[in-house]
Amino acid sequence: MGSVMRVIQISDTHISAEHAFFDRNTRAIKAWLLGQTCDLVIHTGDVSMDGAGAAADFEASGRWLADMPCETLCVPGNHDVGDLASIKAAQPVDDQRIAAWRSAIGPDYWVRDRAGWRLIGLDAMLLATGHPDEERQFDWLEQQLRTSLPVAIFLHKPLFVDHPDEGPRGYWTVLPEPRRRILDLMGRADVKLVASGHLHIHRQLRHGAIDYVWGPAASFVVGDSQEPLGGERKLGVVEHVFSVDGVTSRFIRPDGLEDLTIDPVLHILYPSPARDEQVA
Ligand SMILES: [Fe+2]
Ligand SMILES: [Fe+2]
């Protein structure tokens, strides 16, 4: 009898100490989680609305993440630790932001071996920064992928939208150069699943032997400020069931969610026009 592991992926809660626009949704997600039996909850980033700028948002995030029904692991998003200076992020990833995440939320990359699987959380926000931790994470990833276990990877930004060989997708995905390095390393292992957040869209796409799952947001969807990327702009969670037979991923829609778009409150959340395109 093989063991079965139930992992619930949540994403993009955007918890704010200051703004309550999306609280009804994050409250509905939390209420649903509290009724679940699970082995792990994995949060694929943008835990906070502005942890990259305000310590109070990490404190509020910590309160939201408390009392989960099972161990909860998070990877950071751009709203948590900043984004790339090369795509004109108003809040570039730096030592201070990475340290604030680690002390408030936990490690930004991590590994867990459970139920015959290796689960790897990656800090997508380090990629293409040139920060010393970027190379440290690559070295570490190379080691973690030297395994005979089947592997699932969780990170904030998707590796690609349509195809692994596509060009840069700006704000929406990992840039082509680090994407290629990750895909090459992945090729040495038995990777079955790559699960991401950031787009506030649910989509499941099989490419080769790997399922690429976009986890839906728990807070808001993006309207016209997001180009069409495919998938469904719908709030919810994803259940991943791991067994000896593989992994099965399923969208779940907890009760009480309303697919609010960020657009009507964008000017309040992001008064600076420089950030108008950096909403997810
Ligand atoms: Fe994001
Ligand atoms: Fe987000």
DSSP 3-state helix, strand, coil percentages of the chain (rounded to 5)? 30, 25, 45
Which H or E run contains 141? helix 132-144
- Which DSSP helix (H) or strand (E) runs through 81? helix 78-81
Residue 248 identity (one-letter amino acid): T
Instruction: Tell me what pLDDT residue 4 has.
Output: 97
Residues 6+ apart with CB under 8 A from 77: 12, 44, 45, 46, 47, 124, 125, 156, 157, 197, 198
Q: What is the pLDDT of residue 114?
A: 97
CA of 206 to the centre of ligand 2 (A): 23
Task: Please report the pLDDT score of residue 39 as a whole number.
Answer: 98
Q: Which of 182, 158, 152 is nearest to 39 (CA)?
A: 152
171 Cα: distance to centroid of ligand 1 (angstroms): 9
Chain centroid offset of residue 193 CA:
14
45 alpha carbon – ligand 1 mean position (Å): 7
Nearest Cα neighbor of 170 from 243, 95, 277, 268 is 277
Which ligand neighbours the alpha carbon of 218 most closely?
2
Tell me how far apart the alpha carbons of residues 248 and 240 are, in angstroms, rounded to a whole number. 6
Give the model's pLDDT for residue 274.
Answer: 52
Whole-number Å distance between alpha carbons of 258 and 21: 11
User: What does the alpha-carbon distance between residue 144 and residue 157 come to, in Å, rounded to a whole number?
Assistant: 20
Residues of the chain short of pLDDT 50, as ranges, are: 1
Question: Which of 18-31 are b and which e, b meaning 16 or more Cβ less than 10 Å from the residue's Cβ?
Answer: eeebbeebbebbbe
Closest listed ligand to the CA of 47: 2
Give the number of the ligand closest to the Cα of residue 52: 1
Distance between CA 155 and CA 81 in Å, rounded? 13
Q: Which of 100, 113, 35 is nearest to 73 (CA)?
A: 113
In the three-class reduction of DSSP (H, G, I as helix; E, B as strand; rest coil), residue 121 is classed as strand
Q: Say which ligand is closest to the CA of 83.
A: 1
Q: Which domains does the chain have, with CATH numbers?
A: 5-275 (3.60.21.10)
pLDDT digits (tens, 9 = 90+) for 206-257: 999 999 999 999 999 999 889 999 999 999 999 999 999 999 999 999 999 9
The pLDDT value recorded for residue 272 is 63
pTM above 0.95, yes or no: yes
Say how far apart CA 176 and CA 165 lie, in whole Å: 8
187 Cα: distance to centroid of ligand 1 (angstroms):
26
DSSP 261: B
